[in-house]
């Protein structure tokens, strides 16, 4: 079975595709001065861009993990998430609080059908 990679860098690929599933890396916002909600929106835009590159989109996301630096900000994250998510196609999801690199409020890792 073929394996396709996109956005390969020093230690990971932005996405790896195998057998009809795209495995994306955990993506973060570039602008660390943004609020949690704004960082979430920026991450979701990045996910959209990677999925578009692979010929798929957010309606085909299968599963997601939302890693947050402060889970107390879950509501703010969810505002951006719900503004973005296609209500007819919600993925599986977990949202948990972890330590992220300084300034990063949210890191999101998804798997999508392609």
Is 90 a residue that touches a copy of itself (CB under 8 A)? Answer: yes
Q: Are 72 and 30 in contact (CB under 8 A)?
A: no
Is 33 a residue that touches a copy of itself (CB under 8 A)? Answer: no
Q: How many residues bind a copy of itself (CB under 8 A)?
A: 50
Is 32 a residue that touches a copy of itself (CB under 8 A)? Answer: no
Is 13 a residue that touches a copy of itself (CB under 8 A)? Answer: yes
Question: Which among 35, 112, 45, 49 is positioned nearest to 83, based on CA atoms?
Answer: 45
Q: How far is the CB of 97 from a copy of itself (least distance, A)?
A: 3
Q: Are 112 and 51 in contact (CB under 8 A)?
A: yes
How far apart are the C-alpha atoms of 25 and 81, rounded to whole Å?
Answer: 18
How far apart are the C-alpha atoms of 19 and 60, rounded to whole Å?
Answer: 14
Token match 């402060």: residue?
A: 70
Question: Which among 46, 104, 42, 47 is positioned nearest to 73, based on CA atoms?
Answer: 104
Q: State which of residues 43, 52, 65, 105 lies at the interface with a copy of itself (CB under 8 A).
A: 65
Is 46 a residue that touches a copy of itself (CB under 8 A)? Answer: no
Residues of the shown chain interacting with a copy of itself in the complex, contacts defined by CB under 8 A: 1, 3, 5, 8-16, 18-21, 23-26, 60, 62-65, 67, 71, 74, 78, 81-82, 85, 87, 89-101, 107, 109, 111, 113
């Amino acid at each position: 079975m073929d394996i396709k990679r996109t956005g390969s860098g020093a230690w990971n690929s932005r996405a790896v595709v195998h057998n009809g599933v795209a495995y994306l890396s955990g993506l973060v916002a570039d602008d660390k001065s943004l609020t949690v909600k704004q960082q979430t929106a920026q991450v979701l835009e990045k996910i959209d861009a990677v999925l578009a590159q692979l010929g798929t989109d957010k309606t085909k996301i299968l599963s997601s993990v939302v890693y947050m630096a402060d889970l107390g900000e879950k509501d703010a994250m969810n505002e951006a998430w719900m503004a973005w998510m296609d209500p007819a196609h919600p993925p599986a999801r977990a949202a948990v609080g972890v330590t992220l690199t300084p300034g990063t409020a949210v890191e999101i890792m998804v798997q999508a059908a392609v």
